[in-house]
Structure 1
Amino acid sequence: MGQACLDHLLRVAPLSGPAHRRGPKPSRRLRPRAFRDEDAPALMAGCGQPGTRRAKGKEAGGAWRRTPRGRGGSPSAACEGFFVDKDAASNNEALRGLCGQGKVYEAANLVEVMGRVGQVPDLSCCVNLVRGLANANLTDKAARVLRVAVMSGGVPDIITYNKLVGSLCRNARLPAAVSLLDDMAPSGCPPDVITYNTLLRAMFDRGMPDEAVCFWRDQLRRGCPPLLIPFTLLVELTCASLGSDCALRVIDAMALEGCHPDIVTYNALLNALCRKGGGLPPAAERVVRHLLARGLEPSAVTYNTLLHALCGGGGGRWAAADELIAVMRASPSSPPTVVTYNILINSLCRFGLLGRAIELLDQMVRDGCAPDMVTYNTVLGTMCKEGLLAEAAQILRFMRARGFPLVLITYNILIDALARKGDVAAAMALFDDMVRDGIAPDDITYGSMVAVLCRGDMPERAAEMLRLMSDGGCRIRATTFTLVVRGLCRAGNLDLAIDVLAMMTTAGCRPNPGVYASLLHGVAASGLPREAAKLRRRLVEYQVFR
């Protein structure tokens, strides 16, 4: 939609006169009559859904087609006459029985019969029927049951209405969904934020941003409370669809209708702008000026969103990030938080600026902001990548001495780094510390330990690790099994290699021909050529080798 179209849409019109005359010429997909109160009963008219395949016994042309008579079929005319002759208590007992048996179609037909003869159906049965039919996308049938319940004096709950509104939106029946929303307040159940959010998302999903803005404006003019959650969603979706300038114009237009934004609205708009990547967009500055002009104060979330955009993209804008943090330090209401520091530390580490990250960590502590596990794990991971394992171990000891609660990922970072270096003793010591701290190893921990033990010519210990993994229900990769089998074959421990091979098969990992080749080579190298030949013939029988 072009800028001119939105300009015409947001033009302020007098509050008198029909609502549909104040907006632009709407799309054919959502007619003006969909927003009018007098057209609300159109939902119950049973309009068909073109382009959809109708199964036998389902809606066609607005009428419910009866299935063939017999077991499980819809009530015939004679059966309906039977229910007409019964009183309300008997029919409600039959209705509960049909619902209990899962005969949804028959129960819905019975509700319609009771509505025609002026009987009041059981409200709980009607609610369950509407929800079930809405979940099955049988919207016309659900709407007729809902109408009978409401006309009989019942007040369905908001969950039931929202389910039917959602089903109508999923089936591209937005006019009927809007009409149902208009019926909700007179029936004693006004719409909530979920109702409005569902409709707004459906309109944007179908490329109807102008209609969505018009819809929310009309709701405000009809007395809808200025709910901030749907309004914030409208602004965010407008930004994603038409751009930030149009979103700011929507904010100004809705403020004239009494719906004023708060800082959460602007934060959502900034997040929609900045999450596209590529650094801080120029439009973010205009959004910040707009919120300041309205007398709002940026929050920590506002600053963090801007900081994340500054540190992202192809290269970090470190000078601008430092200035932003300086502004936050000077702000009494929005000082830097642990999330603020984590954003900048993570970005510095990602660009290989470990020294600056450590300096910022020291500054963080001096400012009285305690680092959390994300902070330490980010620095530890970068240290391990840079090969600074001694320094990383020193930080780990510092964390343990200060009583900092260590978690699994912290140990996994260091154990993996030690395994890659081949430091078996240090990896085993850290693994033992981990178990003593009461932290259960996972498949990543065991995988790293198996790798370092195999590299250290300790395949027997690696096989023990495999058993621990199997007993603990950890997922074992086929490559881990292969590594241990080859290590055992090189060490001449063929019996244990065969046991590991059996464990591998039991775990559902089919060994590849390379594993069997290593095993055959190990058997032959052990001075057992006959056994090797016999094993090869067996593998040929299993179609492992040709």
Structure 2
Amino acid sequence: MALSNSLLEVQLLHYPILNPKQLNLCFKVCCLSNNSGCKKQSCLELKRNNARRRNGYPLLRCYGLQNSVCMDQVDDVEDYVEDNEEVHLLGLGRNCRAKPKSRKHVGSLFDGAFVENDKETNNEILQNLCGFGKLTEACRLVEVMARLNQIPHFPSCTNLIRGLAKVDQVDKAMSVLKIMVMSGGIPDTITYNITIGNLCKKGYLRSALMLLDDMSLSGSPPDVITYNTIIRAMFDRGNAEQGIRFWKDQLKKGCPPYMITYTVLIELICRHCGSSRAMEVLEDIAMEGCFPDIVTFNSLVNYNCRQGKLAEAALVIRCIISHGMEPNTITYNTLLHSLCSHGFWDEVAEILTIMYQTSYRPTVITYNILMNGLCKAGLLDRAIEFFYQMLSRNCSPDIVTYNTLLGAMSRAGMIEEAIQLLGFLSNTSCPPVLITYNTIIDGLARKGLVEKALKIYHQMLEYGITPDDITRRSLIYGLCRANLVEKGAEVMKEISKREHGIRVSAYKMAILGLCRKNEIDMAIQFLEVMLTGGCKPDETIYSTLIEGVAEAGMEDEAEELQKKLKQWRIP
């Protein structure tokens, strides 16, 4: 056979000491590579290099038919090696100028390189492949090691399984997981959960259940996340009854009665089958030793209230009482929020009376829910009554309480009362925040009381509170609406000096207002400030500017402005 048609393979990782036969083979390779730019060496030089290897110097190891590098295509390999990271990871050196005929050819021939290695070498390559994210190659290596009865590095297998599952290569993840278990490894619960979650997401529910059984036998018992994932997948596929049977079967097998899983199941039943069916399942599962608690019932109350199903929420309340339990503050607050949203004020009063008679007295959250509902319904007087009732019962308001009242007062025109309450807040343990000031400024600006709004704005700055876009927009809106465009322009300049961002909408409002007042010069200045601030005006702004200049009898200036806008690359 002609040497020029020989197939040789080169591997750079973990190079053993070459025997004389291998040295002679390498000599032949170097002779054949003379025309391709490889340095020609004699056997003596190669033996000298082999001696250096004994002293710690790495040297290429050449095998016949290992990586099938074609020596008749030696001219193009360097570019291929630079572009193919797989080659570098598995050790094809830059000095070996050989190029495989196809990528597929290389992939299939890498297995041969793995076959020649011992367990330690393959495991080190496996760690490198996982470290570089080469999941497909790492998976292939694990399969080769399994055929060779080599035990793979278990931490690398764990990382590989998780990585494959996360990129939706669940079949390969399952293959590696099976090899790991058959080799004596024990995947942790997180790895199992990631794989099961991926199987459920793809709809492979039967495979997920089989893996659950394997998980129970492998030494990594399922946890809450495992069961929740499978139950949710069953309900998502419309198999509510299967989900119910699954949980009952798990309880019979000795699964701990996880309350979180129980609550998730009951809420899913309520969502898909209704509260009546959920109550039935509650009784059935109680026979298996899994009893509901107030958290489970509260989740049902919350779901029905959010759906506006107050009759079914009442059914759940009766079930709570029949089980010898008492609704708690969360139960009452959930009901109150729903009743306030629907305007059932008599029922609200009734529930409050019940709360005063129990150990679960109204809290600040309870009062906030009530006052927010009353303010939204326009019943500010009753909200203020609850505020004083709250104080009389030694329940301290929080900033949410004050913000709710201040917003309602501002909308109702009770400006002086709102400002007084704001001043009162400054001397309490609950000082005003950005939302508080924004609420007052917006209310004042909408009522046209821009001077008072500016006063609150400067007070806000004195207290070190940085205004946001809502603050600026409210101020500029109020000033422009009050025909105080020049004052709005000053505010915007002040804001710009403080390096606070201004949105295009605020600039637009000011520029259009200036144009309507024929303040063209100031409008153009604002346009320049806008552009230097990185904001790009829209078509309305520049068309209004040009029309304003032309209508003022300055047609030449309008034409010049249009040219300037084109220079600024404004279409």
TM bracket, shorter-chain basis: 0.7 to 0.9
CA 1:74–1:267: 2 relative to 1, 3 Å: farther
User: Does residue 300 in structure 1 map to residue 325 in structure 2?
Assistant: no
Give 1:433's match in structure 2, choosing from 459, 463, 469: 459
Give 1:359's match in structure 2, choosing from 370, 385, 389: 385
Q: How far 1:222 moved relative to its partner?
A: 0.7
Which residue in 2 is equivalent to 1:342? 368
Which residue in 2 is equivalent to 1:252? 283
Give 2:537's match in structure 1, choosing from 507, 510, 513: 510
Give 2:181's match in structure 1, choosing from 121, 133, 150: 150
Q: How far 1:215 moved relative to its partner?
A: 0.6
**Alignment map for 1:179-328 (pairs within 5 Å):** 179-277=210-308, 281-313=310-342, 316-328=343-355
CA distance in 1 between partners of 2:171 and 2:567 (Å): 63
CA distance in 1 between partners of 2:227 and 2:106 (Å): 36
Q: How far 1:427 moved relative to its partner?
A: 1.1
Q: How far 1:321 moved relative to its partner?
A: 0.8
Q: How far 1:322 moved relative to its partner?
A: 0.9
Letter in 2 for 1:320: E
Tell whether the 8 Å contact from 1:489 to 1:519 is kept in structure 2 after alignment. Answer: no
Tell whether the 8 Å contact from 1:197 to 1:233 is kept in structure 2 after alignment. Answer: yes
TM-score, scaled to structure 1: 0.80
CA 1:401–1:224: 2 relative to 1, 3 Å: same
Q: How far 1:408 moved relative to its partner?
A: 0.7
Q: How far 1:431 moved relative to its partner?
A: 0.6
Tell whether the 8 Å contact from 2:546 to 2:561 is kept in structure 1 after alignment. Answer: no
Q: Secondary structure at the match of 2:426?
A: helix
Tell whether the 8 Å contact from 1:236 to 1:269 is kept in structure 2 after alignment. Answer: yes
Residue by residue over 1:262-307, the C-alpha shift from the partner in whole angstroms, topping out at 9 and shown as x without a partner, is: 1000001111111112xx5212222112122222221111111111
Q: How far 1:423 moved relative to its partner?
A: 1.8
Which residue in 2 is equivalent to 1:444? 470
**Alignment map for 1:164-183 (pairs within 5 Å):** 164-183=195-214
Q: Secondary structure at the match of 2:219?
A: coil
Q: Secondary structure at the match of 1:213?
A: helix
Residue identity over aligned pairs, in percent, reads: 46
Instruction: Give the root-mean-square deviation of aligned CA atoms.
Output: 2.5
Which residue in 1 is equivalent to 2:40? none
Q: Secondary structure at the match of 2:530?
A: helix
Which residue in 1 is equivalent to 2:445? 419
Q: How far 1:130 moved relative to its partner?
A: 0.9
Letter in 1 for 2:396: A
Which residue in 2 is equivalent to 1:521? 548
CA 1:297–1:450: 2 relative to 1, 3 Å: same
Letter in 2 for 1:321: V
CA distance in 1 between partners of 2:345 and 2:559 (Å): 67
Letter in 2 for 1:164: T
CA distance in 1 between partners of 2:567 and 2:171 (Å): 63
CA 1:192–1:479: 2 relative to 1, 3 Å: same
Letter in 2 for 1:325: L
Tell whether the 8 Å contact from 1:200 to 1:212 is kept in structure 2 after alignment. Answer: yes
Letter in 2 for 1:305: T
CA 1:468–1:443: 2 relative to 1, 3 Å: farther
Which residue in 2 is equivalent to 1:88? 119
CA distance in 2 between partners of 1:536 and 1:266 (Å): 68
Which residue in 2 is equivalent to 1:110? 141
Residue by residue over 1:404-448, the C-alpha shift from the partner in whole angstroms, topping out at 9 and shown as x without a partner, is: 221111100110111122222211110111111111100110112
**Which has more radius of gyration?**
2
Tell whether the 8 Å contact from 2:446 to 2:478 is kept in structure 1 after alignment. Answer: yes
Which residue in 2 is equivalent to 1:392? 418
Structure ranking higher on relative contact order (CA contacts 8 Å, 6+ apart): 1
Letter in 1 for 2:274: G
Letter in 2 for 1:212: G
CA 1:471–1:122: 2 relative to 1, 3 Å: farther
CA 1:273–1:473: 2 relative to 1, 3 Å: farther
Give 2:406's match in structure 1, choosing from 367, 371, 380: 380
CA distance in 1 between partners of 2:564 and 2:213 (Å): 76
Letter in 2 for 1:516: S
CA 1:529–1:357: 2 relative to 1, 3 Å: same
Tell whether the 8 Å contact from 2:520 to 2:545 is kept in structure 1 after alignment. Answer: no
Moved more, 394-403 or 202-211: 394-403
Tell whether the 8 Å contact from 1:504 to 1:511 is kept in structure 2 after alignment. Answer: no
CA 1:209–1:474: 2 relative to 1, 3 Å: farther
CA 1:263–1:337: 2 relative to 1, 3 Å: same
CA distance in 1 between partners of 2:187 and 2:105 (Å): 28
Tell whether the 8 Å contact from 2:448 to 2:482 is kept in structure 1 after alignment. Answer: yes
Aligned residues: 471
Which runs of no fewer than 5 residues in structure 1 stay unpaired?
1-67
Q: How far 1:517 moved relative to its partner?
A: 2.8
